[in-house]
Structure 1
């Protein structure tokens, strides 16, 4: 070995002894036993081992691992304390310090084989494992025998792989360090804004990013994180306290639910909503004890639901079986009706029999279809997992039956057209007596013809009756004695025809009036107020058009009108009076001024423009403006202005806007609950919370009238208008949500 190599080895081992104490092994029974390593950090050991290995490899890649020569042993021996020194240290120290040892492997080649699959399984993200196995690899390579060439080659290959892995791990650590720094910025913003959920989320992201970091990168991130630790802990403590209070409210709401009369699916839905809300709250103070109380109450509240769902499950099974039986019956009916028609044609039945069969066929199929539709409706619901194929089977059978009915109806239509043609021909006959006799026979045959298309059937009947009337009412020279009977018959027929025509006309008129009345409910308050005279006129027209000739259909029209009248009366009672109209005008004027002020602040490009926009607002003029008669609206508007004047930059408006959006979303959700309309998915948790709060608030109280609900929604609409700052886009989105729910309430 050259002097340069020897010098390098000595230098390396002098460096190594600074961090490791090497023991000279003297054993009698097992000189090659392993000496376990002490708790030195894996990162330092790995770095040392790799630095040593890389230094040796750089100087002599193919050289054998070094052996301690005399000079090296002297250096090591000189660095270790003597027995006397050790005794002196032991007597002076309160507790002996365990010395760090380096393991000696009995079979380095076998250890290398064990290590190989472990290294191959490593990924760049496993920082701790990379450092630990890298340290172990360096120690094993140093202890390989000089003659173990294959093992040395394997060790060199593993060393190369470790170097590549370390480079990849370094890049991964730098990437995770950047993510940690970005999350620290998120944490800072969340802490400044007092957003506990965002703070907890950012903190978790930082902890995840810290896991693969080591050395300086880890220390740098940890140092930045420690700057915010106290504020984070304070906010976390507040979050735990607030969550505990909300959980207590949920427990109280669950107690009310347990004592309430709500049953079945509605009760189960409320319990599920409460559990979902509990889940969103996360951990809290008294977490376990609160959960036990809540869980017991929810289990007790859910107990009645078990019977409900058990019965419902049995009902689902029975309904499914009934629908299967219905489909089997429809298949049998279709097979019977199809085969009967085919058999009649093949057996050569007389034309009269064939006509009679076809006439009965359409009517029978219609009866079967109507009964099947009602039975299908009565046997709902059915388990969703089983319904798809059954529906396909059912509607396929109905379509087959309808097709068969259409074919039969077309035959009936052809016979009716034929009868009409014959009646019209008889009307032109000179032999009136024979024409009348033939017309009576045609009328008898008409009664035996089955139905055709409903719309066409009415037209066919009118045409046939007109032709028959012309036969019986034609002027002739017959005796006066026979004329009265025919005139009376013609008069009765004419009255019946006119009655049919009147019913259709009256029905169309009533439908149009009811549709027009319903459209008035969609008007805004001012337009609705002005439409009262129109409502009264159309109500009188409806009463005048309603005729006893309508029979049962008249009852349906009357019920529809009564429902509309009730909704109109409720809406009229809820219309704002003069005082409320003045309040609306006052609030609108003030909010317009604040909206314009916010727009100028939001459009500011820098701090100077922001300050200029603030200075341009005339606070003295604001004080002179008329304030709403309701102090709650005035308080919201004044607080909104104060927060705008206090802001120093656009970022301050973002925080204010978030707070206003939360309050506005709450207003919208409350109204959506009252109107029973859907809430966006982002506010579903809020809806569940509000429903539980309302259940607690209204428990044992009388239900508000519809007019009171509408009046309350109008006040809430003004409150929404007062909130701010909100961007035009956000305000539009919330206003549309509110308007949908308010319109539903106004329509009743």
Structure 2
């Protein structure tokens, strides 16, 4: 085969005719080469023109350029097929672009498929009967939609949002239902808690009469509280009959005890007097009046009085039998009275042509008649027979009158059979129509009945598969329960109670009960033996857990006793630290019975609350003291702010400072109050300085005016002593000394110096620095320097060459100093 292929593809020598043709062609002149049009691709306006250039373009570049401008997948496919084997580069470009468009189209198709899946899943979610994690699954669907939202059409977006709105409304409804269930469960818990409190109170009352006497006010407060609690817990939730009976029985016992206790406290003194006087008649009357309940220990004087008058605690046997007989007669009379009432109601409903309630009343009347003795039952037989015939006549008449309604029900069932609907909803509608049929009493017309039955069977046919699946779910749940029982049995068989983790065992039994409850629905009959086995295993576990709970309850009772011992313990710090330690002990204790733990916790919490209430009272007293200190501090601050800077005394200020320093201020306000106090103090000092500054300024001006007039300078004008003008100015002439002193005052006050004296000012400033006087001196030293200069000035002879402009320069310098210092 290889040799054959080699010979097959071996070049053949041209024949004579071929050689001639080749020579002739060689002699022909070459064809003229066609130059490509550089604007051909740019000028092409249609896909067909671009496809033609891509396939038959003169140059490879022209073909590639045409391919780059084509966006049609079919056209790219034709171009790739045409260029295969002719232009590898253009072929690869067409294939690559075609693959890119195909991938983009596939991604778009997948995105659209995902959008439709999200919408379908959302629609299924809005109709699902499985409401577990409903909100979480709805949020997950919303997240999936958010990922594909930008690629969805308006129609798809509208469908999604419509279904999501339905789901949100359903989610809100589920939340409301769950809240309602929680609220009702809370009311059930409150009902049971009320019973527990009453029973605990009765147990305590039966334990013995307290030595210090029972507290009527506490018992009355407890009774009113529990009555209010029961009324609130039964406002919207009707209690179980047995639970309600228990409540009324317990509250009656407590109220009887409470009434007897009130009477005892009212007649205690009279009874003690009757005992002292051995007055049996008075004792008999008082014992009867108090009417102490027989199953509760009473006050010792009352017990003594009962013994003395031999008050019977139990009825004689004959009286008991008579009471039983009287009770039977009363029961028969009550049933007979109820029978009469029922027959009256039957007559009323028959007159109103109400078939369903008439049937109910008739059946109830028959049941009551059967419960009566023979003679009493026969007295009502004639009336019951007459009303029974009327009932049959009403049934026949309504059967005729109800035929149009029955035909309407047939039509509704036939319409329902043709409607696509969820199986549960459809089955519910079917049951509703069937109930309506039965409420109308049916019909003896077999043809009409057969029509209704056939429509019912046809309507129910799509539900068969659903309920078959539901039956399969029941079987799966039954298998789950069998597995739970097997695991639980194995766990119980291998459990070592002496070394087990009781909390883990409690979690296991709780988990088993939860998983058992979750595995539903199940077939009731098939589940019955499993339920018995499961209950037995749970009972076995709870028996062992109850022993541990009782041990732990004893530990908690001991903690409660120790906590109550800390209530009045001193010092208080030890009591609070002890209470905190007991709280940690409490947390470390294992499982307990819920109801008992709640009672112990209330007692423990009450003791701790009283301990920490003492701490709170102590802290509150300290806080009140600090608040009073804060108010006093505020008063001192306001007093400081109100002081007059002209007349304030240093001793008064020191007294306020000492009083403020002695205060123990609250921590949260100490910094603010101290800041206010120091600011007020600084402000007062600043105002006093302003007064002093103003006084000095006026004194200095008065001294200058007097000196200028060659009058005596007022005494006390300067606080500093004057120096020799020659020494201070290093000048001998009065005029030169005056000019030098003017410059030095201008330097000291920071005022301006005339231009002609600038050179001398510079020299004086250098000397001033050499003397150690800096520009940033304190206000006091500045004042002292100015006063010294002015005092020296007043030593000059005003007629020795000093001019009026020198005085004006001094006044301007002092004015500059005064207003600069003030502002």
Would the TM-score normalized by the shorter structure come out above 0.5? no
TM-score in terms of structure 1 length: 0.25
Which structure would you say has the larger Rg?
Answer: 2
TM-score by length of 2: 0.23
